[in-house]
Amino acid sequence: MKQQYFILVLAHSLHGRLRRIHIPHQFIYGILALALFGCFSVFGFVGSYARMAWKVANYNALRREAADLRDRYQNLQRVVNQTNEQLASLETLANEVSVAYGIKRRLEGPGDIATEGTLAPTFSETVQEYNYLRSSSLASLDRNFSRRWHVNSRPSMWPVDGRLMSSYGQRNDPFSGEGAIHTGVDISAPTGTVARATADGVVEFASRFAGYGRLVIVNHGNGFETYYAHLARFDVMPGQEIRKGEAIGAVGASGRVTAPHLHYEVRVRHAPVNPYKYLAKMPVTAAKSELPF
Q: Say what the pLDDT of residue 135 is.
A: 61
Q: Say what the pLDDT of residue 133 is.
A: 61
Q: What is the pLDDT along the chain (293 residues), one digit of tens a residue?
A: 456 667 777 776 676 677 777 777 777 778 888 888 888 888 888 888 888 889 888 888 888 889 889 888 888 888 888 888 888 878 887 777 777 666 555 555 545 444 444 445 565 666 666 666 666 555 555 555 545 555 688 898 999 988 888 888 777 776 666 767 888 999 999 999 999 999 999 999 999 998 899 999 999 988 899 999 999 999 999 999 999 999 999 999 998 888 899 999 999 998 999 998 888 765 544 433 333 33
**Is residue 202 assigned to a domain?**
yes
Q: How many structural domains is the chain composed of?
A: 3
At residue 241's C-alpha, the angle toward residues 240 and 242, to 5°, is 115
212 and 230 Cβ atoms separated by less than 8 Å: yes
Q: Which domain holds residue 81?
A: 1-100
Q: 121 with 42, same domain? A: no
Q: Say what the pLDDT of residue 172 is.
A: 72
Q: 20 with 110, same domain? A: no
Q: 136 with 73, same domain? A: no
Q: How far apart are CA 158 and CA 160, in angstroms?
A: 6
Q: Give 208-275 as a DSSP string.
A: EEGGGEEEEEEEEETTEEEEEEEEEEES--TT-EE-TT-EEEEEB--SS-SSSEEEEEEEETTEEE-G
Q: Do strands 201-209 and 261-268 pair parallel, antiparallel, or not at all (unpaired)?
A: unpaired
Q: Supply the DSSP symbol for 121.
A: -
Helix (H) or strand (E) holding 177: none
Q: 183 with 130, same domain? A: no
Residue 78 to residues 178, 218, 227, Cα–Cα distance (Å): 17, 34, 29
Q: 11 with 118, same domain? A: no
pTM: 0.48
**Is residue 156 assigned to a domain?**
no
Q: How far apart are CA 259 and CA 94, in angstroms?
A: 25
Q: 238 with 216, same domain? A: yes
**Is residue 257 assigned to a domain?**
yes
**Is residue 206 assigned to a domain?**
yes
Q: 8 with 51, same domain? A: yes
Burial 164-178 (b: 16+ CB within 10 A, else e): bbebbeeeeeeeeee
Boundary (domain end) residue, out of 116, 147, 178? 147
Q: 174 with 200, same domain? A: yes
**Is residue 152 assigned to a domain?**
no
**Is residue 155 assigned to a domain?**
no
Q: 109 with 192, same domain? A: no
**Is residue 279 assigned to a domain?**
yes
Three-class DSSP category at 82: helix
Three-class DSSP category at 70: helix
Q: 124 with 171, same domain? A: no
pLDDT digits (tens, 9 = 90+) for 99-116: 766 655 555 554 544 444
Q: 69 with 116, same domain? A: no
Write the CATH number for 277.
2.70.70.10
**Is residue 154 assigned to a domain?**
no
Q: 93 with 34, same domain? A: yes
